[in-house]
Each structure stands twice: as C-alpha cells, then as structure tokens.
C-alpha cells in the first residue's frame, strides 16, 4: 500500500479554505492519575484552531466517558469567537468529545430578494417552511467533529464507527500518534469502507505558513495512511456527498472532522 509522506506531497494545498472549518481542541490528550480535568475549546474559522470567527452552539457539544455515558460540561462559556468548557475525567480510558450539526438549507424569493432559510431536518419536515414561495438551492448537511482524550491507558469502546453516516475507523489509536511514525485510519460510510473520499489535513498555526490545507484521497479500501512529519495539533477532515433522503434532487453533504494531537517520540 502506498504511503503519504506529508513533507514531500506533490499535491498543492489550497491557501484559503472554501468555508469556515469546525474544530475541537483539547488542552491535553494524554493524562494520568485517578482523575483529572481537561478543557475543551470549540470554534469555526478559516484555519482550524484559530480563534477568530465564531464559537459553536453549546447544545451541539457533547462529552462521553469510556463507558459511553455523557459527562457534565462544567464552566461552559459560549463566547463570540470560541465556546469552551471543562470536563472532569474520572474513568480510566479514552473519552470522546463531539460537536454534532445537522441542517437543511435553501434559498427563497422574498420580494425579488434571495433569502436563505436554515433549520434542522426535523423542523423542515414538520413545518415545510416557505412553501408558498419559490425555493431553490437546497442542501442537506451533516457535520460531526470529534477529539479524544485518554486518562491512563487507551481504550477503544468510544472509537467504534457508527453504522450509519460518515465516520472514521481508527486503526491507529487517536491518542497514540507520534512524529515520525505511521498512522492508519479508514473512511467509512454506513459502516462500509469509503473509497476515494476527499481528505484534508492541516497543522495548527496555518496563518504563519505559506502552504495550508493538504488534499488527500482515501484508497480503494478506504484507507488513509499518514507519516507524521512533526509534533503538533492536526485537523483531519473527511468529506462525502450522497443524494438527500429528505429533499428530492438535493445533495446531502457529510463531513467528519477530528482534532488530533501528534506527540514527539
């Protein structure tokens, strides 16, 4: 299988993101002891991990212990540029932190002016909004953003990919990533390997560098293989598009994003 060496990529990375990218950044990804705290920052910006555009809706954010039970979000702060909270980790193992977004959007004509409506799929199906107006440019979007933090030894319970939708199978544990080593992931859709999926990778501090997003593709078996060139915080994004199962003849864009820390050996 062919490896992707980030330091020697021939693919040209785009200098500006096409849309604001959603990210989650933990204060630490590996902790020890019987219990500890982690601070989770959530935001959306042109360059992942930059705090310069918008915080995330608090109701979209969730934290899960290794046994799958939800953890309380303490000291929640929903700011203009960033949403943050603390989570107390009391179980040994790997914890999962998520930002889940699902919506339908379309444009409609309002007295000659094009206006955008956006709401949840449930709201759209229940209310059928603006049905008396000309509606166009429909789009359904599902966006799942995650990061992981391990207290003690890594565990795998929270890493199991979902049976429905777009997800990432962690063949290499997300809290065991080291500079100079190889990590393997698999893009999956509805539980099956997803070939030729669009993959974007970015390292923290993009605004200080000339080259930004690195464009990749999953292989025929859905595999994404990366040799990390250096330590730091990385943003990994996988994208896929299928027909909407809610709006006829509309696309359903799915995106999975992960905040991953690569540590020095």
Identify the architecture of domain 4-256 in CATH. Answer: Sandwich (2.60)
Greatest CA separation for the chain: 63
Average pLDDT of the residues of the chain: 91
pTM: 0.89
Start-to-end CA distance of the chain, whole Å, equals 25
Query: What is the tens place of the pLDDT at every residue in 28-52?
Result: 999 999 999 999 999 999 899 999 9
Integer-rounded Cα Rg, in Å, for the chain is: 19
Q: Which of 2-6, 202-206, 209-213 is modeled with the greatest confidence?
A: 202-206
């Amino acid at each position: 299988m062919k490896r992707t060496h980030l330091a020697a990529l021939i693919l040209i990375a785009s200098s500006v993101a096409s849309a604001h990218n959603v990210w989650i950044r933990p204060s630490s990804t590996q902790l020890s002891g019987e219990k500890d705290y982690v601070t989770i920052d959530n935001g959306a910006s042109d360059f992942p991990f930059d705090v310069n555009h918008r915080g995330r809706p608090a109701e979209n954010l969730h934290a899960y212990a290794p046994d799958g039970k939800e953890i309380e979000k303490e000291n929640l702060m929903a700011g203009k540029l960033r949403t943050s909270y603390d989570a107390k980790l009391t179980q040994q193992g790997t914890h999962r932190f998520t930002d889940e977004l699902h919506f339908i959007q379309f444009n409609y004509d309002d007295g000659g002016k094009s206006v955008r409506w956006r709401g949840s799929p449930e709201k759209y199906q229940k209310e059928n909004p603006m049905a008396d107006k000309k509606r166009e440019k429909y789009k359904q979007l599902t966006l799942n953003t995650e990061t992981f933090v391990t207290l003690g030894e890594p565990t795998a319970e929270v890493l199991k990919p979902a049976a429905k939708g777009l997800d990432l199978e962690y063949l290499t544990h997300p809290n065991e990533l080291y500079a100079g080593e190889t990590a393997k992931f698999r893009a999956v859709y509805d539980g099956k390997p997803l070939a030729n999926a669009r993959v974007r990778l970015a390292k923290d501090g993009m605004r200080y560098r000339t080259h930004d997003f690195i464009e990749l593709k999953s292989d025929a078996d859905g595999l994404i293989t990366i040799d990390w060139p250096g330590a730091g915080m990385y943003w990994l994004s996988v994208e896929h598009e299928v027909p909407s199962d809610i709006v006829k003849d509309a696309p359903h864009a799915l995106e999975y994003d992960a905040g991953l820390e690569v540590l020095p050996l």
